[in-house]
Amino acid sequence: MTDTRTERTAVLAVVGAGPAGLAAALAAASRGVRVLLLDSAPAAGGQFYRQSATGPGGPGGPGPRVPAHQRRTWDRLRTALDAHLAAGRVVHLSERHVWCLERESGGFVVHALLGPEQEESSAVRADAMLLATGGYEKVLPFPGWTLPGVVTAGGAQALTKGGLVLPGRTAVVAGSGPLLLPVAAGLAAAGARVAALVESAGPAGFARRAGTWATTPVKLAEGAAYAGRLLRGRTTVMTRHMVVAAHGGERLEAVTVAASDAGGGPVPGSERRLVCDVLAVGHGLLPHTDLAAGLGCRLDGTGVEVDDEQRTDVPGVWAAGETTGVGGAALSLAEGHIAGRSAAARLTGRIPDPRGWAAAARSRARLRRFFAALEAAYGDPPARWPERVADDTVVCRCEEVTAGAVREAVGTLGAGDLRTVKLLTRAGMGWCQGRMCEPGVAGVAGCALTPARRMPARPVPLGVLAAPPDPTTPR
Amino acid sequence: MDPLTPARTGPDAPFTVLFDGREIRALPGQSIAAALWSSGVTAWRTTRGGGRPRGVFCGIGVCFDCLVTVDGRPNQRACLVPAVRGADVRTQRGTGHDDRHED
Ligand SMILES: Cc1cc2nc3c(=O)[nH]c(=O)nc-3n(C[C@H](O)[C@H](O)[C@H](O)COP(=O)(O)OP(=O)(O)OC[C@H]3O[C@@H](n4cnc5c(N)ncnc54)[C@H](O)[C@@H]3O)c2cc1C
Ligand code: FES
């Protein structure tokens, strides 16, 4: 590699060490840029290559099994990262919860809370930013969804993969979207009985795609290979069904599922009660966009808008992976690679040559098409789902705001948008800053889901806000 | 094997943490949430308004449902905080701020 080094090597800060951030960091570091890789987790890997408690999952390892092809990709990323770390080209700043990015002349300041305590902040300077913060799960509310034992589908995955704990003996996996299948398969592989997979999309969208996953080279999810086995096994698969209530006193004991008609309304008399001690539920993923929005980057729908080089509309800021739209680990790797190469070229004063990343661009195009088709196959959540949310159901988990209060804000008090609903009810003002309740509150209120601006991106102790730390500049 | 014990244990030795004064088992690298859950504890907080039990929901640090008091520090997200040998983990009630000076 021939580097045209200036007196000071340019510094790229990458936020997020998942597939996108890792690919970006590696691409940039091998092209003459110093990389600061920041992540809130103790180890690199992100949601996909999540590291299990006593070492990586895999052959002989303690974690749930990971198919060989992904294990090879992970080993490659890990080996390359280790080499860059040893050579000092990448510095991995783990357990850094980035809460604010500041623009300053000629660069950026990255503010992050340290460690699990998050009572102290640190700051570093960088010449450019690459955001690879991934996404989080969207869950629509229903009576009983706050009971212990009800977890998000990704959360169940995180507990089994990373925490080596089986969240229950009998599981129901419910909601909508392609993540449910690997989650159900993962729970079954770890030893749980998966009583039912409850998918709100119709059978056409679901079953046809189940076959596609198993044969596609995309390998959307590690569970794809298990999918057929799971569907043939003891798991009842219900399509165009929804969980309408979770039951239990201090923790989950059972759920009620019901069929939806073509418009998403309840089919009378279709309710069935299923005994379970864990419910893994999710309705797709939403991109983490707070940091990008804080810098003033334009959003495209729910994700950060990027050009062919993965640049945002703010000079010096790139974005890659699920922060730009949900599309799986392979797409995140391709986007990260392109972003890292583009950033490195521009930071070292060269014009990036897209021919250098043609293969990644082709796979990006193919995977984006695939995910667009997948999204179309699943469609939106059934239009009339809010009808099944009773007035006394908590919709904002943090502030304990009920569906009734939201309906009153709209009906009696005339609120017409999410912001007004929030001001009148406090829904979305708690710890999670609306990340968990926004889609639910919007649905119950009948308002459009507008991307919220959340600054800071993480709750910050007042002392930290009062005395922001001085940034250090890496040499 | 009891399905609520960890699916497959590794070569590293388990250790214990305290939960409301009793010892529970944890594996190296496990989060406090995972350790509690593998001991059958699924709720470790009560809400400020309704006093309702809560535990893990999102599992990745987004929802703040899993707040817990660790070594006297309230409002720690149990899904993010790694369990360390001998940690003193306590149920958190309401805002958690009353627990700070409790012994
Ligand atoms: C809970 C969950 C479980 C999932 N499980 C699967 C699965 O089993 N199979 C599958 O195919 N797909 C799964 N997905 C989808 C998966 O996210 C993507 O396929 C892939 O991991 C996306 O890669 P990424 O690099 O864009 O983001 P991620 O892998 O999500 O990585 C983003 C990283 O950024 C870090 N981060 C975010 N914000 C900040 C901040 N402010 N400060 C510091 N660090 C930050 C996060 O800690 C994380 O490590 C899951 C998603 C979620 C949310
Ligand atoms: S479970 Fe959501 S923050 Fe810990």
- For residues A160-169, average pLDDT: 78
Residue A310 is encoded by which pair of tokens? 């993965």
A96 pLDDT above the threshold of 90: yes
Element (H, E) at A90: strand A90-93
Q: Which residues of A touch B73 (CB under 8 A)?
A: 117, 119
Give start and end residues of each alpha helix (H) in chain B: 32-38
Is B56 in the A-facing interface, judged by CB distances under 8 Å? Answer: yes
| Ligand 2, CB within 6 Å, residue ranges | B 56-59, 61-66, 77, 79
**Burial of residue A348 (number of CB atoms within 10 Å: 0-12, 13-18, 19+):** middle
Percent of chain A with pLDDT over 90: 54
Count of Cβ atoms closer than 10 Å to residue B38 Cβ: 26
- Residue in A33, A161, A147, A128 with CA at minimum distance from that of residue A90: A33
A311 pLDDT above the threshold of 60: yes
What does DSSP say about strands B45-46 and B53-54: parallel, antiparallel, or unpaired? antiparallel
- For residues A180-199, average pLDDT: 87
Confidence class for position A202, pLDDT limits 50, 70, 90:
confident
The reported pLDDT for the residue numbered A256 is 97
Q: Starting at the earlier edge strand, list the strands of the sheet with A107-114.
A: A96-104, A107-114, A121-126
State the pTM of this model: 0.88
> Is A353:A330 a contact under the CB 8 Å cutoff?
no
The reported pLDDT for the residue numbered A57 is 39
The reported pLDDT for the residue numbered A302 is 87
Looking at per-residue confidence, does A66 or B81 come out higher? Answer: B81
Lowest-pLDDT range of A75-84, A112-121, A168-177: A112-121
The reported pLDDT for the residue numbered A192 is 86
- For residues A96-120, average pLDDT: 88
The radius of gyration computed from the CA coordinates of chain B, to the nearest angstrom, equals 13
**C-alpha A105, offset from chain centre:** 32
The reported pLDDT for the residue numbered A470 is 76
Residue B6 is encoded by which pair of tokens? 């960890």
Lowest-pLDDT range of A127-131, A346-350, B17-21, B93-97: B93-97
- For residues A138-156, average pLDDT: 95
Looking at per-residue confidence, does A255 or A373 come out higher? Answer: A255
Percent of chain A with pLDDT over 70: 84
Inter-chain CB pairs, A–B, below 8 Å: 158
A216 pLDDT above the threshold of 60: no
> Is A335:A310 a contact under the CB 8 Å cutoff?
yes
Lowest-pLDDT range of A105-114, A294-303, A378-387: A378-387
Option in B31, B34, B62 nearest A435 (CB): B62
Strand partners, B25: B16
Is B52 in the A-facing interface, judged by CB distances under 8 Å? Answer: yes
DSSP letter for each residue of A19-76: HHHHHHHHHHHTTT-EEEEE-SSSSS-TTTTPPPTTS--STTSSSSP--HHHHHHHHH
Confidence class for position A449, pLDDT limits 50, 70, 90:
confident
The reported pLDDT for the residue numbered B90 is 94
Confidence class for position A146, pLDDT limits 50, 70, 90:
very high
The reported pLDDT for the residue numbered A375 is 82
A62·B10 Cβ contact <8 A: yes
Looking at per-residue confidence, does A165 or A399 come out higher? Answer: A399
Q: Which residues of A touch B54 (CB under 8 A)?
A: 146, 148, 397
Strand partners, A241: A259
Looking at per-residue confidence, does A26 or A300 come out higher? Answer: A26
Average pLDDT of chain A to the nearest whole number: 85
A237 pLDDT above the threshold of 50: yes
A38 pLDDT above the threshold of 80: yes
Cβ contacts of A365 within 8 Å, gap of 6 or more: none
Residue A54 is encoded by which pair of tokens? 């006593």
> Is A177:A282 a contact under the CB 8 Å cutoff?
yes
> Is A196:A173 a contact under the CB 8 Å cutoff?
yes
- For residues A345-355, average pLDDT: 95
Confidence class for position A217, pLDDT limits 50, 70, 90:
very low
The reported pLDDT for the residue numbered A120 is 84
**Which residue is it, tokens 């680990």?**
A329
- State how far the Cα of A471 lies from the Cα of B57, in Å rounded to an integer: 35
What does DSSP say about strands B73-77 and A34-38: parallel, antiparallel, or unpaired? unpaired
User: Can you list the residues of chain B whose pLDDT is less than 50?
Assistant: 1-10, 99-103
**C-alpha A316, offset from chain centre:** 24
The reported pLDDT for the residue numbered A54 is 56
A165·B37 Cβ contact <8 A: yes
A174 pLDDT above the threshold of 50: yes
Q: What angle do CA A114, A115, A118 make, to 5 degrees?
A: 60
The reported pLDDT for the residue numbered A153 is 94
Q: Which residues of B touch A154 (CB under 8 A)?
A: 58-60
The reported pLDDT for the residue numbered B102 is 38
Looking at per-residue confidence, does A451 or A224 come out higher? Answer: A451
A155·B60 Cβ contact <8 A: yes
A175 Rama class: left (phi>0) / alpha (psi -120 to 50) / beta: left
